[in-house]
Structure 1
Amino acid sequence: MRRTSRLIPFGFVILALAVLLPLLPSAFGHTRSSCQTPEKTEGRCVHFSSCRLVLRHYAMYKEHMPPVIMRFLQRARCKPKNQGYHLCCELKDVIPANANSKLK
């Protein structure tokens, strides 16, 4: 009597990993709003009024922000314009949702 192997084909394992690996960060507590800042650091996609960096720049320059800062903020956008102005804010600068913000 011949035994047949019940091993899963290697190609199927690779395909399953390729499909499932992108889903793993959300399973381990990272939110889907995770992003990478223009400076290549880990960030979170938040409304601009929830980012201390933006509030500091606004307090310093008001409506006269230097072009270099405006370009940085434009590169940090993480959602389409029709969803409001959201940008990738470095984790240390994210203001918690329950904190009061000057611009909210």
Structure 2
Amino acid sequence: MIVVHIITKQEKQARMIIDLLLHKKLLLDAMIAKKEIYTLHKLTKKVTANPNFLIVGQTKALLFNEISEVLKTNFAKKMPVFYAMPIIYMDDNQTKNIKKNIQFV
């Protein structure tokens, strides 16, 4: 099992991604959080904050590549940042829920 993180600059795109991935049963659930990403400007050396939207969702590790392809196919012009982290420990009932409600691999 993994937790995916998808970061986009547009709330509309974040909602479209969630809708797409949930309908394809690639995520069990999803959360959107508005976050500020801080970067250092190369020329001015000033730190700037830019609003971004973080999508967090649970899924099976075997679906990572399929999610990546869905994102590339549907959002090629504005590809969001996408990565995953393994879930080391999870309650048995939650594990069963993911296995039961996520796409069969």
After TM superposition, the score normalised by the length of structure 2 is: 0.25
Judging by fraction of residues, say which structure has more strand: 2
Structure showing greater relative contact order (alpha-carbon pairs closer than 8 Å, 6 or more residues apart): 2
Larger Rg: 1
Judging by fraction of residues, say which structure has more helix: 1
